[in-house]
Amino acid sequence: MQLSTRRDLAPDLARGVMLSLIALAHAQFLADGGAFGGATAALTAPDKVMQALLALFVDSRGYPLFAALFGYGMVLILRRRDPRQLRKRSLWLIAFGFLHVLLLFPGDILASYGVLALCFAGAVHWSTRRIFVTAGVGAVLGAVVYGFVMSSPMPLPEGGAAPIDPVSSALMRITTFPFLTPMNAIMSICPLLIGIWAARERVLENRELLRRAAALGIGVGVLGGIPQTLVTTGFLAPNLVSGALHTFSGYAVGIGYGALFTLIARRLRPGPVVSALTACGQRSLTCYLAQSVVWFVIAEPYLLNLVGKLSVVTASAVGLGVWALTVLGAALLARAERPGPAEALLRGLAYS
């Protein structure tokens, strides 16, 4: 109960809802032809519709908001704690990310956030001009880097190509760590700095600015996602321009989502659904890792081995189901007035 009253509702509500986008995006590795880089199989009409919705509103749209919220949280931490504690927390985040990849899932973001916090803790004291110039450079770099990735989609492993034992699987995952960690960090520079600026300038209190950011961010971002949508539905071949534009426009949508959820949170009244979503946001690290446990069981060749075996629609339903289970778990923890286990562990290690 105390957890709900001591924190602003908007960031927690945003985290809780946006974890559904993370689940939807990650679930697409279960889909035959569901890779975001391009349509690799003949899709049914419902699958193409779902693929288009995912490309416009999900892929590269959720992570920018999480990065912005992480930057926002950095400012709040530095307001009440010694900077050395933020550095210690950042190092532990990198360790958490490494173990996350080794034990569960290669698509980690925790280590990247740890690296960014180490590199940009001083941005709290930068001038506004320096923040936005650096954010702009980061946006271009992120768009180009991920544009290359999206223009060269990697096929899913087939048959015996995937490791079939736990040790080989873990070794394969960990080889991605030195490459994906800096790539995800580069992609997150822009929204992280926007989040730092927003916290420093108390942007969440400016309703008119939030309205403009929500309308322009989501509107312009969705328009920028149309070329990549044509790629994912099979009408265009994967290419650097559409991939880069998709990533760049994702920053706008992510920031727009943040503004929209802040406006919504200001109007919401407490209720079971809002409380559950907020509890999920307050325990976002635990819920994020819990999703990875499910993906591990579903994906590993020596367990359920469902990679590439579902339709896009079915994979999306699985993703939303996994997210709903984490929301339920978070609500039960909130009712028992208990923090998320991962949050409690990180807090104990970082601030002891």
255-264: pLDDT as tens digits:
999 999 999 9
> Would you place residue 148 in the very low, low, confident or very high pLDDT band (cuts 50, 70, 90)?
confident
Residue 34 pLDDT > 70? no
* Bridge partners, residue 310, by sequence: 31
The residue segments making up the domain with residue 36 are 2-351
Global confidence as pTM: 0.91
**How far from the centroid of its chain's Cα atoms is residue 227's Cα?**
22
Residues 6+ apart with CB under 8 A from 258: 14, 65, 68, 69, 213
Continuous H helices in 82-238: 83-103, 110-120, 128-151, 166-174, 177-200, 207-224, 226-232
Q: For residue 10, which of 203, 188, 162, 208 has the smallest C-alpha distance? A: 203
Q: Long-range contacts: 340-343, Cβ < 8 Å, 24+? A: 340/282, 340/283, 340/284, 340/285, 340/286, 340/287, 341/286, 342/96, 342/283, 342/285, 342/286, 342/289, 343/282, 343/283, 343/285, 343/286
4 has a pLDDT exceeding 50: no
CB-count exposure of residue 125 (10 Å: 0-12, 13-18, 19+): exposed
Percent of the chain with pLDDT over 70: 92
Average pLDDT for 312-321: 97
Per-residue pLDDT, 160: 45
Tally of domains within the chain: 1
pLDDT of 214 higher than 90: yes
Whole-number pLDDT of residue 86: 94
Judge contact between 245 and 142, C-beta under 8 A.
Answer: no
| pLDDT of 153 | 58
**How many C-beta atoms surround the C-beta of residue 90 within 10 A?**
21
How many CA within 13 A on the CB side of residue 43? Answer: 27
Q: Region 5-11: what's the mean pLDDT?
A: 69
Average pLDDT for residues 320-345, to the nearest whole number? 97
| pLDDT exceeds 60 at position 155 | no
Report CA-CA distances (Å) from 99 to 165, 175, 183, 338. Answer: 18, 13, 18, 24
Per-residue pLDDT, averaged over 167-193, amounts to 95
